[in-house]
Amino acid sequence: MPQTDSATATATVNRRAINGRLTNPVGLGCMSLSWAYAKRPPDEQGIALLQRAVDLGYDHFDTARLYGQGHNETLVGQALQGRRDKVFLASKMGIFVTGERRGIDCKPETIREQLEISLRLLQTDHIDLYYMHRRDFTVPIEDSVGALADLVREGKIGAIGLSEMSADTLRRAAAVHPIAAMQTEYSPWTRQADIAVIDACRETGTTFVAFSPVGRGALANGVDDPAALDDGDLRPGMPRFKGANWRHNHGLLQQFNALAAGAGVTPAQLSLAWVLSRGDHVVAIPGTANMAHLHENIARWDWAIPADLAAQVDALINHQTVAGHRYSAAMQATIDTEDFDTFFEIAG
C-alpha cells in the first residue's frame, strides 16, 4: 500500500481551494439528515444542525437530488436562508429512483431539468459546484460535461464536479471544460482512489473530495453491531458489515481506536487527519445527524497526523486487511472508479 511520506504527513493543514474558493478542509456531507443511515431526524432538528455547522466554521455543504428525493436539498435551502453567502454549496444530479427501480441519467436535457429543480428546492439562483453523481455509460462524458459547461456560462452553476469516476474519465472531461472537483469514497479502509484518481486530480487541478472519510461510521467508533442498526440503514447490506467479514473488521477497528487514543484524538479525528494528509488538494466531507459529532469532526481540522502514526494506520487498515468489498456486486457495476483486482471474503 502507498505510505504517507514525512513531508506530506507533517504539512500544515490550511484552508483549501475548490474552484479557487478557499474552504475549511472539513466540509459537511448533508445526506444523513434525509436518507441512508439512521432514521431521519425531525426537520427542525436538521435545520438547527445545519445552522450550527455554519456557526462552527463549516463553509462547504454537500447535498444531492437523490438524498431523500429532494428532501435534503429542501432542508439545506431552508437552513441557508439569510446565510447563503457563507457556504460553498454543492449538489449532484444523475441518479434516479422510481419505486424499486434505480438508474443513472446524465443526458444533457436531464442535467438542465434537474438543475432547475435543485435551484428551486435550495432557494438559490446558483449552485457553486454541481456534480454528475455517477457516470452515465449511455452518454459520452464529453456531451454531459458540455451541457454542464453551458450552465457555467449562464451563471447557474459555478463549477463542474464528477463523482465516483475514473482517472481516464476525468481527463476526458477536463479536455472539454475544467473539472473543479472529483468526489469519491475515501478513507483508510476504502483506498480505490489511490490507484489513479488522486494523482489524476493533482494533474488536472481538480480538488479531490473524500466522502465517507470515517468509513460510514466504522472509523468513528460508530458501529458496534450492524444488525442492530435502524431499518432502512444501508450498511447491514454492505459486504464489509456482514457476518464474519464484520467480525474480522471490528477487530481491526479496535486497534485503530487504540491508535487514536494514543494520539489524544478520537477515531473520527484520526481518520479525517489521515485523509487530509494525502495531499493539499484533498478535502473531506464527513456527514452526521448528531450535534456532538458535528463538533467533533471539525474540532481538530488543523491537526496534522505524524508520519509514523500515518504509517501505522496504513499498515493496519487497507484494502488487503479489510474483509469484503465496499459495495455489492450489483452496485459496484455502476461505479466508474478504478478498483483493486481482489477482495477477500470470510465465510460464515
The residues assigned a catalytic role are 67
d(CA 289, CA 160): 27
User: Do residues 111 and 140 touch, judged by C-beta distance below 8 A?
Assistant: no
User: Do residues 29 and 287 touch, judged by C-beta distance below 8 A?
Assistant: yes
Find, among 48, 57, 47, 52, the residue nearest to 87 by Cα.
57
Strand, coil or helix: 290: coil
d(CA 303, CA 14): 10
d(CA 255, CA 85): 42
Residues 6+ apart with CB under 8 A from 134: 94, 95, 104, 106, 163, 164, 165, 334, 335, 336
